[in-house]
Amino acid sequence: MRNPRTLIWILAGLSVPLGVWVGLSLVGLWDDMALLTWHGWLALGLGAGLTMALGVGLMALVFFSARRGYDDQVITFESDKRDQATKGGTRKSRAE
């Protein structure tokens, strides 16, 4: 999109119905969730928070592992080293 105002109008046009939908959903669910005690709310909050923390932590590990090269292939067997050398490969493993 060449015009940033177009993007703003599109986002505004999508966010208004989304906000109305979320608001109506929360109002509709409030009657059912009013029966939840503070223990339930605590468990719900801890479960959601810890699940999000676990997901963010695992994605961070995947990202940093890929960025630092830990996911690269490591040659560990002597036959693989010989095969790599005969094919003209110059790539060395991290174990060396």
pLDDT (tens, 9 = 90+) of the chain, 96 residues, equals 577 788 888 888 889 888 888 888 877 777 666 677 889 889 989 999 999 999 999 999 998 888 887 777 666 666 666 666 676 655 555 555
Diameter of the chain measured on Cα atoms: 72
Task: Please state, in angstroms and rounded to a whole number, the distance separating the CA atoms of residues 78 and 43.
Answer: 53
The answer to whether 7 and 1 have CB atoms below 8 angstroms apart is yes
The answer to whether 96 and 74 have CB atoms below 8 angstroms apart is no
Residues 6+ apart with CB under 8 A from 7: 1
Q: What is the pLDDT of residue 54?
A: 96
Q: Indicate yes or no: pTM above 0.95.
A: no
